[in-house]
Structures are given as structure tokens and as C-alpha cells.
Structure 1
Amino acid sequence: MSGDTQAITADSLLNFSLHDSPGHLLRRCQQLAVDLYTMEVGANGLTPRQFALLLAVYQKAGISQVDLVRQTGIDRSTVAEMVARLIKRGLLVRQRTENDRRTNALAITAEGERQLRLAQPGVMRSQERLISPIPVNRRAEFIAMLQQLIEQLEQNP
């Protein structure tokens, strides 16, 4: 047995607590965040990732798909699929950039902006419900710690 395998014994598994496991807790929080989002925005509204993509494009018209991946944290192949579907639904448009004909610039359509504006009140309610258990005076610290986790893990996977 290797040293790593020897450390995992039946007793250590009995003592392992999912309730103290950061990965498990973050996954549970994500599940609850999506549930709250869906309750507030509605099952027929934009999904959280669609909202993130459309918002990023709205805030930075002409953004490339590569920059959209960086901005949202959604993987490249998923962004490509989502962009294609959002274009098909008439929420985004894509055109080649003049500087680099291999790069696509994305822009939101009037309908895409309308969908964003329809979803925004529900998104804001879901965010408020999500953070409501955190004392008001600790919320900025909590958000900063989440941002720190993301930044550090992206730099050092």
C-alpha cells in the first residue's frame, strides 16, 4: 500500500464529515442557489448561466467568446453551445471582428436585453434570499472570501 492509501482506513471514513467538507458545502450551496434562482426567475425564464452570459455581453458589447469564458467562468465548449442557442433564439448576434477575422464579437439583441430586464428582479430577490442568513455586517467579508477562493483556485488549480 502507498502512504496515501494507508492513511484512508475504515475509521477515517467513519469520521469523515460531509458537513465539514468545503467541496460538499459549496456544492450544496450551489444547488440551493439554483433552486432559489429558479423559484424567483421562474422555470421558463433565463437559466443562471444564460443570465450570466447575456449580462456579460450586455455590459461589454463586442466581447469575444474567449473573453466571455474568462468573464463568466463557464467552460469554452459550453459557452460555444450556449451562444449558438442564444443566437438561434434571437437573444444574441455574432459577427466577425474587423481586426481579427477569426474572432467573433457578440452583441445582445433588443429581445436579449428584454429577457435580461425581465429576469433581473427575480435574480436580485434570489441573491438577497441566498445571502440573507449571513449577518449584514459580514456579507462583504463573505463575498470577498468567495472571490478569493475563485481567484486563488483559478491561479493554482
Structure 2
Amino acid sequence: MADSPSAPTRIRTLPSWLLGRAAARGRRLVAEALARHDMKMWHHVVLAAVADLGPVAQADLGRAVSLDPKDMVGILNDLQAAGLVVRTVDPTDRRKNAVSLTADGERRLEECTKAGERANGELLGPLSAAEREQFLEMLRKVSGVR
């Protein structure tokens, strides 16, 4: 990652600034990889969550990925129009929609998961396998994710 010529040295040494730069590079790499499969980042997040949770109530899905309900509707509309998810009446509560992956959705998710893994591999390419493990463990500690 090249240093930003406009960032003062004092800023470039801050962990928060470095994490932000790494995150921005990671998002760019993953977004580019997903775009080659006609997928946007949030669409991929929702598709992956449906795979993990589905069939899942639309409202529960939004809470699971911390997405505003209006944004969730738009993303689900896009995914449904592409034939990647279906919304049906939730059998446990007929007032709700249950979201499930289609066979095409499962295939696209698999392609995008592999593309995302390759992009993350590129992001962490300068690190050895041991350094990657250590780095990921440190990120989990700092972010509070286990």
C-alpha cells in the first residue's frame, strides 16, 4: 500500500489511520472482484446472510446484517429480480416474508465467496501464513469480534 503523499507523518503512524487505509484497500479489492460476477458488496452480504440464516424473515435478516429496512427492501428487490432469492409468506407468521436462496443464488454466492477470498488473499499477500494468522487474531481482538 503506497503512502498518501498528503498525509502527514504523524497521521500515517496512527493505527486508526492505517486500519482505515487497509480497510479501504480491502473493500476496493473485494468490490472489484464481486463486480466481475455482477454483484455489489451489500448484495453479497445479504446473499451470504440468507444462506446462513434462511429461510429467514426479512426483518430478521435486516437486523442480522445491520441494514436499514428500506435499504434491505431495495437489495432484496434487486436480488429477487436477478433470480437469486425468493420471498414467500413466512409459515410461522403470515404477516412476514421469508427469504430463501434460489439454486442460481447458491451458485452466485459460491462464485462470489471464492472471488472475495481471492481478493482478501491479495490484500494479505505481503504477509506469510503465520503473519496472516497473527494479524487476523489481532484484528479480532481490536474489533471485539470472536
Q: TM-score, normalised by structure 2?
A: 0.72
1:81-114 deviations in whole A, cap 9, x for unaligned?
2112212222111123222233321101122122
Q: Which runs of 5+ in 1 are unaligned?
A: 1-14, 153-157
Structure 1 residues 79 and 25, CA, compared in 2 at 3 Å: closer, same or farther? farther
What amino acid does structure 1 have at the position aligned with 2:108?
Q
Candidates 13, 18, 28, aligned match of 1:35? 28
Contact 1:45 1:119 in 2 (8 A): no
Return the letter of the residue paired with 2:131: R
Kept after mapping to 2: 8 A contact 1:92/1:112: yes
Q: Paired residues, what number? A: 138
Structure 2 segments unaligned to the other structure (5+ residues): 1-7
Structure with higher helix content: 1
Larger radius of gyration: 1
CA RMSD of aligned residues (A): 2.8
Give the alignment partner of residue 99 of structure 2, picking from 100, 106, 109.
Answer: 106
Structure 2 Cα separation of the partners of residues 116 and 133 of structure 1:
27
CA contact (8 A) 2:37 2:112 kept: no
So what's the TM-score if we normalise by structure 1? Answer: 0.68
Structure 1 residue 75 displacement after superposition: 4.3
Query: Partner letter of residue 132 of structure 1?
Result: G
Tell me, in whole angstroms, the C-alpha distance in 1 between the residues paired with 2:144 and 2:62. 15
Distance 1:141 1:75 in 2: 34
Separation of aligned partners in 1, 2:39 and 2:125:
23
Identity %: 26
Q: Which residue of 1 aligns with 2:44?
A: 51
Does residue 140 (structure 1) correspond to residue 104 (structure 2)? The answer is no
Counterpart position of 2:65: 72
